[in-house]
Amino acid sequence: MRGELYIKAVACAALLGIVGMGCKSNDNAGLTSIPSFAGSGNNPGGGNPNTGPGNGNDTGGLPGGNPNGNGPNTTGTDNGDPNTPLTIPENFQEQRDIFERVHFDYDSSELRPGDKDLVAQVAQHLIQNPQHMMLVEGHCDERGTEEYNLSLGERRALTVAEELVRLGVSADRLGTQSLGEKVPLSETDSKAARAENRRGEFVLFMPMTGVVELPQN
């Protein structure tokens, strides 16, 4: 009950825009404006929008091809509306250092068993603070090529997001973003530095003045 009141208070604050300074979008004159995507509708289908028959006559096909142009989504992830980027209200602030980072083995996007508790803490927070939103960032060390690392970083972020969804967080509050090898924590050329750079970061978005529900110990 108490928690519910807090949430309502926070939600009201958000709605009324009591706190000024929103994060200003970095508008660029030359760029075709992107629609606000406000009210990101939930389109849970997430199905494959492909049309048209494929050419299934090729030999030597590999698993994972899409010869019919409409195969199932083998990831088994309901990522909310897969089309609409997460949209952060103007009066929300970004909190980057609340949650501990998770780390990955070289060339891997598998969640380490020891990091599952960290993800569980994030999930608990998001479940207890339903207006909060989360961007999961995926980062790589510099041993892959740039284009490979960009896709690998996304794969890492998606693996973390999948775990959050599995733990009960609604997918439409989650976004993923790969930074590839672009934003290393350490630029030292050492094994330890590379291990530190292969990471997932949790970027929390919450109302400017807010009350954060903490776990009741």
Partner 1 sequence: MRMVWCLLAFGVLELSSIQLHAGAAPAGGNLQVVGEARNKLIPVALEGFTGEVASVLKFDLEVMGCKVVPSADAAFLVRGKADGSVVGALTDKAGNPGFNRRYSGGNLRDQAHALSNDVIQALTGLPGIASTRVLFKMKTGPRAEEVFLSDYDGHKPVALTNDKTLVSAPRWSPDHSKVFYTTWLKRGGIENTTVIQQNMKTGEREVMARYRGLNTGGALSPQGFLAMILSRGGSPDVYVAPPGWKFMEDLKGQNLRRMCVTREEENGVTWSPDGQWLCFATRANGKRMLVKVAAQGGNMIRIPTSGVLNPSEPNWSPDGKSIAFTAAMGGFNVCVVPAQGGAATVVAAGEAPTWAPNSRNLIFTRRGVNKRQLAIVDVPTKQVKILPAFVGSASQPAWGN
Could you say which residues in the range 81-140 bind partner 1, by CB under 8 A?
81-90, 92, 109, 135
Q: Of 24-43, which residues contact partner 1 (CB under 8 A)?
A: 25-26, 28, 30-32, 34-37, 43
Least gap, CB of 216 to partner 1 (angstroms)? 30
Residues contacting residue 37 through CB under 8 Å, at least 6 positions apart: 84, 85, 87
Least gap, CB of 54 to partner 1 (angstroms)? 3
- Tokens found for residue 87: 């949209």
Q: Give the span between the Cα atoms of 117 and 63, in whole angstroms.
A: 33
Least gap, CB of 174 to partner 1 (angstroms)? 9
Of 182, 184, 181, 175, nearest to 203 (Cα)?
175
Q: Which is nearer to partner 1, 10 or 153 (CB)?
A: 153
Q: Give the span between the Cα atoms of 143 and 107, in whole angstroms.
A: 9
Least gap, CB of 111 to partner 1 (angstroms)? 14
Q: Strands 133-139, 102-103: parallel, antiparallel or unpaired by DSSP?
A: unpaired
Helix 146-166 and helix 116-128: axis angle, to 10°? Answer: 60
Q: Give the span between the Cα atoms of 49 and 72, in whole angstroms.
A: 10
- Residue from 12, 17, 44, 50 touching partner 1 (CB under 8 A): that is 50
Q: Of 142-171, which residues contact partner 1 (CB under 8 A)?
A: 142-148, 150-152, 154-155, 157-158, 162
Asked whether position 188 contacts partner 1 by CB under 8 A, the answer is no
Asked whether position 48 contacts partner 1 by CB under 8 A, the answer is yes
- Residue from 20, 39, 49, 113 touching partner 1 (CB under 8 A): that is 49
Of 137, 124, 129, 210, nearest to 180 (Cα)?
137
- Residue from 52, 113, 114, 215 touching partner 1 (CB under 8 A): that is 52
Q: Strands 199-207, 133-139: parallel, antiparallel or unpaired by DSSP?
A: antiparallel
Q: Give the span between the Cα atoms of 203 and 23, in whole angstroms.
A: 14
Q: Which is nearer to partner 1, 76 or 215 (CB)?
A: 76
Least gap, CB of 160 to partner 1 (angstroms)? 12
- Residue from 5, 183, 185, 214 touching partner 1 (CB under 8 A): that is 183
Asked whether position 182 contacts partner 1 by CB under 8 A, the answer is yes
User: Which helix (H) or strand (E) covers residue 95, if one does?
Assistant: strand 92-95
Q: Which is nearer to partner 1, 93 or 124 (CB)?
A: 93
